[in-house]
Copies of this chain bind each other. A is one copy, B any other.
Amino acid sequence: MASDFRKTPVRVSCFECPLRQKKHFRPFSADELNFVSHFKRGELNADAGSTVIVEGSHSAHLYTLLEGWAFRYKILEDGRRQILNYVVPGDMVGLQGAVMAEMQHSVEALTPVTLCVFERKRLFQLFEKHSGLAFDLTWLAAREESILDEHLLSVGRRTATERAAYLLAFLFERGRNAGLLDEERRHVPVTQMHVADTLGLSIVHTNKTLRKLSERGLIQWLDRGCEVLDPEGLQNVANWNPGEPKVRPLI
């Protein structure tokens, strides 16, 4: 599983970072850009299905997803799995391991992914010399927190149909903001197993619930993934709205 890694030296320079160009991300100052380009130590490539970070590990690195889809999850001893959140380009993973002792969750790639690798040791330099970036880091952590809040509300209090609608609307929104989805590419690369493990449902019931959403014309299920036909319809079913897409930081 965690075998197909190619850890290469920096390939995409931060100066030409494809993410930075997108209007969804806040621009760096020249100074910050310079720092980040030194902070970045390399890139990590991993195939779909490979485990990028293992729960319990003490990694010397933290990462920003540069390309592809991934997800964070936890498992109980007997194998029950809960997917905690999804990772799209611009999201940071491994911060927990960096500021606390060890990782409390694992991360797995949904598609082939590329991650920027940063050295944990240098994190304190970021805090010391670049308060703007430090603030951004906190911003990202606060945002992850508010996403988890919404997921918790969903799993705890929404019905199966509402949950499924919420999740797909959420994934569509995130994918769109990260530039992974647009009018042509509307394909969210998850299996029904992923949906089940995110929503806290069995796979059979997930299947039946998704089928209902299909029949209502809100989504279309394809091979290993889902096409969101009516994002707003899903939002209505879930009684959720994503709020204005804000410019977000990137490290």
Binding site for B on A (CB under 8 A): 72, 74, 76-77, 80-82, 84, 95-96, 99-101, 104-105, 124, 127-128, 131-132, 134-135, 137-139, 141-146, 148-153, 155-158, 197-200, 239, 246
B101 pairs with A142, CB closer than 8 A: no
A100 partner, pick from B84, B124, B131, B143, beta carbons under 8 A: B143
What residues of chain B lie closer than 8 Å to A144, measured between beta carbons? Answer: 145
A151 pairs with B150, CB closer than 8 A: no
What residues of chain B lie closer than 8 Å to A155, measured between beta carbons? Answer: 152, 155-156, 200
Tell whether A239 pairs with B145 under 8 Å between CB atoms, given A82-B157, A99-B139, A131-B131. Answer: no
A156 partner, pick from B105, B142, B199, beta carbons under 8 A: B199
What residues of chain B lie closer than 8 Å to A82, measured between beta carbons? Answer: 152-153, 156-157
What residues of chain B lie closer than 8 Å to A81, measured between beta carbons? Answer: 157
Tell whether A80 pairs with B246 under 8 Å between CB atoms, given A139-B100, A145-B141. Answer: no
Give the number of copies in the complex: 2
Supply 29 A–B pairs (Cβ within 8 Å), ascending by A: A74-B149, A74-B150, A74-B153, A76-B153, A76-B157, A76-B239, A80-B157, A82-B156, A84-B153, A96-B146, A100-B139, A100-B146, A100-B246, A104-B146, A105-B146, A127-B134, A127-B138, A131-B131, A134-B134, A138-B138, A141-B145, A144-B145, A152-B152, A152-B155, A155-B200, A156-B197, A156-B198, A156-B200, A157-B200
A150 pairs with B200, CB closer than 8 A: no
What residues of chain B lie closer than 8 Å to A149, measured between beta carbons? Answer: 72, 74, 84, 104-105, 148
Q: How far is the CB of A155 from chain B (nearest CB, A)?
A: 5
A239 pairs with B148, CB closer than 8 A: no
A134 partner, pick from B131, B142, B148, B158, beta carbons under 8 A: B131
Q: How far is the CB of A71 from chain B (nearest CB, A)?
A: 12
